[in-house]
Structure 1
Amino acid sequence: MTVRVAVTGLGCVSGLGQGIAETWRRAVAGESAIVPFALPRGEDARASGPAAPVHTLDATAMEARFGARAMAQLDPLARFAVVAAHEALEDAGLIGDPVLAERTAILLGCGSGGNATFEAAYRRLYERHQAKVHPQTIPAAMASAPASQLSMLFGVRGPAMVLASACASSAHALGEAMHMIRAGRVEVAVAGGAEACLTLGSWVAWASLGAMAGDTCRPFSAGRQGLVLGEGAAVLVLEAWDRAVARGALIHGELVGYGATSDAAHLTVPDQAGIESAIRAAHRDACLASDAPVLISSHGTGTRLNDATEAAALRAVYGEALRASLVIATKSAHGHLIGGSGALEFVLGLKALATGVAPPILNHLTHDPACDLPLALKPTSIAYEHLVSNSFAFGGLNAVLIGRRA
């Protein structure tokens, strides 16, 4: 590594709340965003169950800066992303800085695009038999819309794109943004991810897959039934370390490693070898020995197969040294944000390193021998230097990030 990459801005929206302060307060206190949930068409039993929705979105700060039209006609996907990015850029002190126009990239992750907009269009076509849909359907629903909105609002003229790799999307976005800064292509990157999949069609599709829990999310617990859908966004500002130091920026942490692999095995079944390979690649990139004690932010979906496979991979990579580390699983609090999960989990992991407290894994019933890991089942004091954050997606797409305490 010739260029170090600092994290100088954090922003998020999730069922836990809007903003880093509220999200972290609730996560570390062991509070859950998972509630009984029914969609507006929820009289249909297929559209009700546990979920972690964003109940309200306060766009006051955005509208005060950019006007009331800044949030008009946006799918919830883009609304979540721009509110989180606004917080991150304000936190970094970069709004209006010339670097945004000259030497900044936008890389966001998203798994499925503007679900609400597409479904509204389909209702017009197939339920009401109308001849046309809203003229803004494509611009609002396209998966790249969040990146375009950020570019236009904040005047970012560098590379701007959305990466789609299902549940690993935002972790891939952060890793690739780190490499852009290391390579000298840009000095700053606005990176993270968003998802807004609590819609009827998305819900029924996930339920049909048989992956959703009927009760709640119980990562690594005996009796776990599946994942719980959430929604929201998390965005980080990454910056060349020397630039951040020179301008006196508050540095929240450092992104020091990234490993990405493909299983090349199965569309929905995770492959232990592929997961192990991604973790080891991240350690090599970070120049961090695999026997170093670390805080591990697990993928931890609460599904029977995924949790057991991830646990086996962690034991294989770390061996006996795993006992000196600690595993957290924050989806038990904020649900699964699909394309936005990796970024939100990395944010919460950095906060844990900075504050010296690991947030608890919620809803754990009892030990599962297949998931024998050092789990944080209560708020736990920690003094780790490094965070390993795992994201593993359908299609066998794996991304692992390593962060370092500032």
Structure 2
Amino acid sequence: MSGGRRIAVTGMGAVSALGAGVAETWDAVRQGRSGIAPHLFDGGAHGPEPVTLPAALAADGFQSALEARMGRKVSASLDRFALFALCAAFEALDQAGLVGDAVLGERTAIVLGHGQGGQETLEKGYERFFGLKSPRMHPAMVPKVMVSGGVSAVAMQFGVHGPVFATSSACASSAHAIVQGAGLIQTGLADVAIVGGAEAIATPGSMSGWQAIHALAETTCRPFSQGRDGMVMGEGGAVLILEDLERAKSRGATVFGEYLGAGMTSDAFHITQPSLEGTAAAIRQACTAGDLLSQEEVLIAAHGTGTPLNDENESAALDAAFAGVAVRRPLIATKSAHGHLIGGSAAMQTIIALKAMRAGLAPPVLNFLGPDPNCDVDVVVGEARPITARHALLNAFAFGGLNVSMAFATA
């Protein structure tokens, strides 16, 4: 690592279909509870017939709780995805003991990942323009739609004047955000980085688009299972506070884990189909950065979308990266509980992996119908499994062949 700076995780925040907070989210995945349910998606008077699809929509009440905590209304000026980001950031900074910290300023960075930005605002705006033939858009439409709306909201709320930007690389967005935030600390441009991602694209128009590419499951998400038939859209956000380890220790912060490094590759192959070589290369790079192949046990927090092609490719890539190395590798795939948060997924799964290692329990993969002979991985099923792993490998793979694997250790 550049300059020898080690990167601690000192705060975590989350909002999803499993709850408006990390504790609720962790309790749900540990106990094998799912946030996936049938939902009606109605495109309105100018749209097609409503359709019912499985989805994992965020728990009710998060917005009112956020506004009560902030002491002001923000819902009119922010799209739902930015509200998720702000909610998760509030919890993470509070846990890290940094809410109201006057020293955040120029030595703090924010990097958040989002796949699409303000989709709900965009669809409502198009309904107004094309459907109702109104020549006037809402005056807040552009700032609510822009992908950087979330990071800007967090920066303004907490007085962050350092490097602030968004990453957008589909399902790898928050993984890229975490790596970029860690890099800013390692190169000395920041001492603290607020990183993660959020997404709110479970909207009628967006869901129709995902249906068009045959990506959505008809019933539920079954990662690495026989009979799996697609992903389930989720929504929410997840944020981690990364901090220079020595700084964290000097101020008496609780350290929940350590970022060890990452691998990042591009398949340069196909817009939707993954490449075994690119995926395996990212995993190998992360294993090298975190010295994972020398460990007795490594927890695998899989990308695990539940699509036939992705899960098979990820399994093969793990086998290739760990070939001939006797490391126990229990595998978790929590999209089966909270759905696919797209830009927020990697951050959410990182938080769950850190919680799992600290608790010594790997949460089960839900909806499992039996092993797929083409997925030779140790899937945790049934109930939470006791583990001794102190290191985790986190995978995030995106359309366009954008691959990120990260290595973490628990404190």
Q: TM-score range by the shorter chain?
A: over 0.9
Q: Which runs of 5+ in 2 are unaligned?
A: none
118-127 or 278-287: bigger deviation: 278-287
> Which aligned pairs between 1:133-172 and structure 2 lie closer than 5 A?
133-172=137-176
Q: CA RMSD in A?
A: 1.5
* Correspondences of 1:137-216 after superposition (within 5 Å): 137-216=141-220
Give the superposition deviation at 1:180.
1.0
Distance 1:90 1:150 in 2: 13
Task: Between 43-52 and 231-240, report the one with greater CA deviation.
Answer: 43-52
Report the counterpart of residue 302 of structure 1 in structure 2: 306
Whether 1:14 aligns to 2:16 is yes
Q: In the TM superposition, what whole-angstrom CA distance separates every residue of 1:112-169 from its partner, at most 9, and x where no partner exists? A: 0100000010000111001111010001111110000001011000111110000000
Give the secondary structure class of the aligned counterpart of 1:12.
strand
| Contact persistence 1:231–1:336 (CA under 8 A) | yes
Of 231, 240, 253, the residue aligned with 1:227 is 231
Shift, 1:205, TM fit = 0.2
Give a deviation string over 1:156-212, Cα, whole Å, max 9, x none: 001111100000000110011111111111000000000001111100000001011
Structure 1, residues 197-255: CA drift from partner, whole Å, max 9, x if none? Answer: 11111000000010110010000111100000000000000000000001110111111
**Aligned twin of 1:103:** 107
Aligned mates of 1:379, 1:99 — CA distance in 2: 40
Change (3 A) 1:120 1:276: same
* SS of aligned partner of 1:280: helix
* Counterpart residue type for residue 403 of structure 1: F
Letter in 2 for 1:394: F
Whole-angstrom CA distance in 1 between matches of 2:288 and 2:219: 39
**Aligned AA (1:390):** N
CA drift of 1:64 comes to 4.1
Q: Take 1:223 and 1:278, find their aligned partners in 2: how far apart are those partners?
A: 28
* Alignment pair present for 1:90 and 2:131: no
Q: Please report how far the alpha carbon of residue 45 of structure 1 lies from its aligned counterpart in structure 2 after TM superposition.
A: 5.5
* Pairing partner for 1:29 from 28, 31, 49: 31
2:354 aligned residue = 350
Q: Which moved more, 1:280-289 or 1:214-223?
A: 280-289
SS for the counterpart of 1:215 is coil
Which stretch shifts more, 276-285 or 328-337? 276-285
After superposition, the Cα gap between the structure-2 partners of 1:61 and 1:103, relative to the gap in structure 1 and judged at 3 Å, is farther
C-alpha displacement of 1:105: 0.2
- CA deviation after TM superposition for structure 1 residue 68, in Å: 2.0
* Greater shift in the superposed pair: 68-77 or 86-95: 68-77
Aligned to 2:392: 387
TM-score (norm 1): 0.97
**8 Å CA contact retained: 1:75, 1:141:** yes
What amino acid sits opposite 2:40 in the alignment? A
Counterpart in 1 of 2:252?
248
Hey, what's the Cα distance between the residues in 1 that align with 2:25 and 2:212? 31
Distance 1:209 1:183, change over 3 A: same
Q: Distance in 1 between matches of 2:277 and 2:322?
A: 14
Partner of 1:362: 366
- SS of the aligned residue for 2:300 comes to strand
Contact 1:293 1:321 in 2 (8 A): no
**One-letter identity of the residue aligned with 1:95:** V
Structure 2: distance between partners of 1:168 and 1:379: 26
Residue aligned with 2:239, SS: strand
